[in-house]
């Protein structure tokens, strides 16, 4: 990222986020009269706590982010030798199914990564399983260091019923978008150039299929891949505002023509065999591995696979956030899972110190060094041109710069992850047509609004 690029990013994020983006130098110490929900006066004096253990649950298992997490944990315990970190790393799917039970148990973890939206964070707040991190903000300066709009993704009303307002329940370290990974070598062999719009992307699919190549690598056995590919498609077809309004309950219906159109297109990709045969039985990691082995010209996925695909394909892989109906890059994205404090932690100050340590400016440098996309780049960072890391940084900037970020669709209701992920499998598998698919989503949404 050059100086102009960085200046533009800060300027844009300041516009994107009403509160702006200040210098990224958290960690200043000071006194505060604030009180945590565990009735401990907030403090940065961790050494006085004696020997303690923090149990931390994360879902950072992918290659690059796992390396970053290990390094940050080592650095944290080196800075605070009286604190032992008991790391419990689980897959995203495992975390979704086990975290609530863990938070409710007698041996609840101290710090967890909580997914945003109503299904997870909202439910945890409603059940009073998480505590706000606001009392430590004066000490660590999170609201000064991160864009307000991105922090709002980690905010809820105290009753857990209204998203993106109220208390702050966590801090995210990574930025992320879902976009199009493409194999440069295969495109060149086919005489094609990398698409920059959804229109160009779709126009290339028949040529790729006719040449006997797999157009789109995809595996939805774990279900989350279906949410990502449909969300990226809907963002391009409906545009950022309409898609974001649907997710945020601000307007529209899940049966609107644009949603039907996106569903119809995805169904056609399956019937025309642009997706792999048996894709609903292929795991998402297996699909990524196959793409890394040169099987598939394209793959929709998240920037969290940056390090994995850079290692597998080197300079043969590129990334783009496709322009949609508004002629600008529009896609799913936002921030990674929030680092949150549990209500049952007996060491809230140490837990808050850990949250700050893995999200501050020094942590951003570790994330960059290990092939990850931080929410805020470290000062002086220059993304290498002609590389996957450079493509990701440019795409992240382009999407956020132009107001193209659409929140993940599964944030929409407490049950939308299961509803949408199951519905996408049925749509691509031919068990539901586009009208049935959209009606399933609308029924879930209406039930949520009725019971809210």
**Segment 105-121 mean pLDDT:** 94
Distance CA 287, CA 295 (A): 9
Whether residue 442 has pLDDT greater than 90: yes
Judge whether 164 lies within some domain. Answer: yes
Buried b or exposed e, range 198-231, using 16+ CB within 10 angstroms: beebbebbeebbeeebbbbbbbbbbbbbbbbbbb
Buried b or exposed e, range 50-60, using 16+ CB within 10 angstroms: eeeebbbbbbb
**What is the pLDDT at residue 237?**
97
Residue 298 contacts residue 194 (beta carbons within 8 Å):
no
Q: 280 and 188 share a domain?
A: yes
**Coil, strand or helix: which one is 197?**
strand
CB atoms within 10 A of CB 284: 23
Q: 342 and 441 share a domain?
A: no
Q: 271 and 298 share a domain?
A: yes
Domain with 421 in it: what CATH number?
3.40.190.10
Q: 168 and 187 share a domain?
A: no
Judge whether 40 lies within some domain. Answer: no
**What is the pLDDT at residue 403?**
84
User: Which DSSP letter does residue 85 get?
Assistant: E
| Residue whose C-alpha is closest to residue 240's, from 149, 170, 165 | 149
Final residue before a domain boundary, out of 370, 390, 420: 370
- Residues 399-421: pLDDT tens digits? 877 889 999 999 999 999 999 99
Q: 198 and 306 share a domain?
A: yes
Q: 185 and 159 share a domain?
A: no
Q: 407 and 423 share a domain?
A: yes
Judge whether 421 lies within some domain. Answer: yes
Distance CA 390, CA 402 (A): 18
Distance CA 274, CA 268 (A): 8
Whether residue 23 has pLDDT greater than 70: no
**What is the pLDDT at residue 36?**
52
Residue 299 contacts residue 232 (beta carbons within 8 Å):
no
Judge whether 204 lies within some domain. Answer: yes
Total domain count for the chain?
Answer: 2
* Strands of the sheet with 130-131, listed across from one edge: 83-89, 52-58, 111-114, 338-342, 130-131
Judge whether 15 lies within some domain. Answer: no
Judge whether 55 lies within some domain. Answer: yes
Q: 298 and 168 share a domain?
A: no
**Segment 227-250 mean pLDDT:** 95
- Residues 172-214: pLDDT tens digits? 999 999 999 999 999 999 999 999 999 999 999 999 999 999 9
What residue numbers bound the domain in which 166 lies? Answer: 46-175+336-370
Q: 311 and 261 share a domain?
A: yes
Average pLDDT across the chain, whole number: 89
Q: 414 and 365 share a domain?
A: no
Q: What pTM was computed for the model?
A: 0.79
Q: Which two tokens stand for residue 78?
A: 């080196």
Virtual torsion, Cα 225, 228, 233, 234, nearest 10 deg: 130
- Residues 52-65: pLDDT tens digits? 999 999 999 988 89
**What is the pLDDT at residue 28?**
30
**What is the pLDDT at residue 38?**
57
Q: 233 and 310 share a domain?
A: yes
| Residue whose C-alpha is closest to residue 407's, from 262, 248, 250 | 248
Q: 404 and 282 share a domain?
A: yes
- Residues 257-295: pLDDT tens digits? 999 999 999 999 999 999 999 999 999 999 999 999 999
| Residue whose C-alpha is closest to residue 334's, from 99, 129, 170, 106 | 170
Judge whether 359 lies within some domain. Answer: yes
Task: Report residue 381's pLDDT band, with 50, 70 and 90 as the boundaries.
Answer: confident
Judge whether 26 lies within some domain. Answer: no
């Amino acid at each position: 990222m050059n100086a102009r690029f960085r200046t533009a990013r800060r300027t844009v994020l300041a516009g994107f986020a009403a509160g702006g983006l200040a210098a990224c130098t958290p960690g200043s110490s000071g006194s505060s009269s604030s009180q945590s929900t565990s009735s401990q006066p907030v403090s940065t004096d961790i050494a006085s706590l004696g020997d303690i253990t923090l149990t931390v649950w994360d879902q950072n298992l992918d290659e690059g982010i796992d390396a970053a997490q290990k390094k940050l944990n080592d650095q944290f315990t080196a800075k605070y030798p009286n604190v032992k970190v008991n790391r419990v790393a689980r897959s995203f799917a495992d975390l979704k199914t086990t975290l609530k039970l863990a938070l409710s148990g007698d041996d609840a973890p101290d710090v967890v990564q909580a997914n945003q939206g109503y299904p997870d964070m909202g439910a945890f707040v409603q059940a009073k399983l998480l505590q706000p991190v606001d009392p430590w903000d004066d000490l660590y300066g999170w609201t000064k260091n991160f864009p307000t709009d991105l922090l709002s993704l980690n905010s809820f009303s105290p009753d857990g019923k209204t998203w993106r307002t109220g208390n702050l329940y966590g801090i995210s370290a990574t930025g992320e978008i879902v976009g199009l990974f493409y194999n440069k070598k295969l495109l060149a062999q086919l005489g094609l150039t990398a698409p920059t719009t959804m229109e160009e992307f779709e126009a290339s699919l028949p040529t790729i299929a006719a040449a006997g190549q797999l157009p789109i690598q995809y595996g939805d056995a774990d279900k989350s891949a279906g949410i990502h590919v449909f969300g990226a498609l809907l963002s391009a077809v409906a545009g950022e505002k309409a898609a974001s309004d649907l997710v945020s309950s601000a307007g529209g219906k899940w049966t609107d023509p644009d949603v039907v159109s996106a569903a119809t297109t995805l169904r056609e990709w399956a019937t025309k065999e642009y997706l792999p045969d048996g894709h609903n039985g292929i795991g998402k990691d297996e699909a990524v591995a196959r793409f890394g082995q040169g099987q598939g010209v394209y793959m929709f996925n998240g920037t969290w696979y940056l390090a994995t695909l850079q290692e597998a394909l080197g300079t043969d892989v590129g990334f783009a956030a496709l322009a949609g109906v508004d002629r600008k890059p529009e896609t799913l994205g936002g921030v990674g899972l929030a680092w949150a404090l549990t209500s049952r932690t007996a060491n809230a100050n140490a837990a808050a110190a850990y949250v700050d340590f893995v999200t501050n400016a020094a942590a951003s440098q570790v994330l960059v060094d290990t092939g990850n996309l931080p929410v805020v780049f470290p000062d002086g960072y220059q993304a290498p041109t002609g590389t996957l890391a450079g493509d990701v940084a440019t795409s992240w900037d382009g999407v956020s710069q132009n107001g193209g970020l659409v929140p993940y669709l599964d944030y929409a209701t407490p049950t939308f992850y299961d509803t949408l992920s199951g519905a996408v499998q049925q749509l691509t598998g031919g068990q539901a047509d586009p009208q049935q698919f959209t009606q399933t989503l609308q029924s879930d949404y209406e039930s949520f609004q009725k019971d809210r």
